[in-house]
């Protein structure tokens, strides 16, 4: 559970700071000492081949109990959140857009958002308040207003699921967004639509920090990442600007394999 420390106090004042993080799943080591820092307003990209630990890191950041942190620390706004449960992290301002969002039959999008936003703000939001927010954001994101009455992700196309995640990102107003392969399974047009949605949210909330997990240069072309990190076998082996992503796109990962 959260400590009594006030935001901004503690070992780090960065938005997100990961220090020497080691993670195992069923006693199998996956992450082997990850160090990474994201400041407010920055876009960072995490790249790497399948099985390198990218999605493991995303799940650990949001407190998935299936992943065991064996050593290391996760700081959010200067507070040690390593042991915080998922719901407390979400209320504090951490957000994860899933690679494959789950469908929840019988739960309309607006009902889901009302419950999530009420938890995030600590007050009971009315249906009217949430509906007005949704209408405003769906117009900005170019979404059909009827979308809010559909059941969460049920029968949604891949692109609709990802746009729904961006709608959640807009309405819940987190301080950190972790986008786990948001571009997975999308064609070029759908990818651009999702990337423009992220841009729209960032224009409204310029302090939003973003960690994008991706395989593809094209996503980074759309989002203009400030820094790129290469994860191989559970360790970040290279860091740089957008030129690193272009190098990976051209040469692949072989040059960094141990």
Beta strands in the chain (DSSP E): 16-25, 28-38, 43-47, 68-76, 79-80, 94-97, 104-108, 151-152, 176-180, 209-213, 227-232, 235-240
Q: What are the two backbone dihedrals, phi and then psi, of residue 80, each rounded to the nearest 5 degrees? A: -75, 110
If we measure between CA atoms, which residue out of 161, 60, 170 comes closest to residue 103?
161
Sheet of strand 68-76: strand arrangement: 28-38, 16-25, 68-76, 79-80
Rounded CA-CA distance 200/143 in Å is: 13
> Which H or E element spans position 171?
helix 158-172
Average pLDDT over residues 15-42: 96
pLDDT at 251 over 70: yes
CA 9 to chain centre: 24
On whether the 16-102+174-256 domain is CATH 3.40.50.620, my answer is no
pLDDT at 10 over 50: no
Rounded CA-CA distance 247/258 in Å is: 18
The percent of residues in the chain predicted with pLDDT above 70, rounded, is 86
Rounded CA-CA distance 235/96 in Å is: 21
Domain boundaries, the chain: 16-102+174-256
Rounded CA-CA distance 47/35 in Å is: 14
If we measure between CA atoms, which residue out of 38, 28, 239 comes closest to residue 256?
239
Average pLDDT over residues 99-109: 66
Rounded CA-CA distance 129/249 in Å is: 44
pLDDT tens column, 225-250: 899 999 999 999 999 998 898 888 88
Per-residue pLDDT band at 12 (split at 50, 70, 90): very low
Residues linked to residue 177 through DSSP beta bridges, in sequence order: 95, 210
The two tokens of residue 201 are 């949210």
pLDDT tens column, 59-99: 999 899 999 999 999 999 999 999 999 999 999 999 988 66
Rounded CA-CA distance 97/122 in Å is: 22
The two tokens of residue 123 are 């007050």
């Amino acid at each position: 559970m959260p400590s009594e420390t006030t935001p901004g106090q503690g070992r780090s004042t960065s938005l997100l700071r990961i220090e020497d993080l080691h993670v195992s799943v069923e006693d199998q080591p996956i992450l082997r000492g990850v160090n990474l820092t994201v400041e407010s307003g920055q876009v960072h990209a995490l790249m790497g081949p399948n099985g390198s630990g990218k999605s493991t890191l995303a799940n650990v950041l949001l407190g998935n109990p299936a992943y065991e942190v064996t050593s290391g620390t996760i700081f959010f706004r200067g507070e040690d959140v390593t042991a915080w449960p998922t719901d407390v992290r979400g209320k504090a301002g951490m957000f994860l857009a899933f690679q494959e969002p789950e469908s929840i039959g019988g739960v309309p999008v607006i009902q889901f958002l009302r419950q999530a936003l009420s938890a995030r703000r600590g007050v009971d939001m009315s249906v009217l308040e949430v509906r007005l927010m949704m209408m405003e954001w769906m117009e900005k994101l170019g979404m059909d207003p009827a979308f809010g009455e559909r059941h969460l992700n049920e029968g949604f196309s891949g692109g609709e699921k990802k746009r729904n995640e961006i709608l959640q990102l807009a309405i819940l107003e987190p301080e950190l967004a972790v986008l786990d392969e948001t571009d997975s399974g999308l064609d070029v047009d759908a990818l651009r639509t999702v990337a423009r949605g992220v841009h729209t949210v960032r224009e409204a909330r310029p302090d939003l920090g973003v960690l994008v997990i991706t395989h593809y240069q094209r996503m980074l072309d759309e989002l203009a990442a400030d820094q790129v990190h290469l994860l191989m076998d559970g360790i970040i082996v290279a860091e740089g600007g957008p030129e690193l992503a272009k190098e990976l796109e051209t040469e692949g990962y072989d040059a960094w394999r141990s």
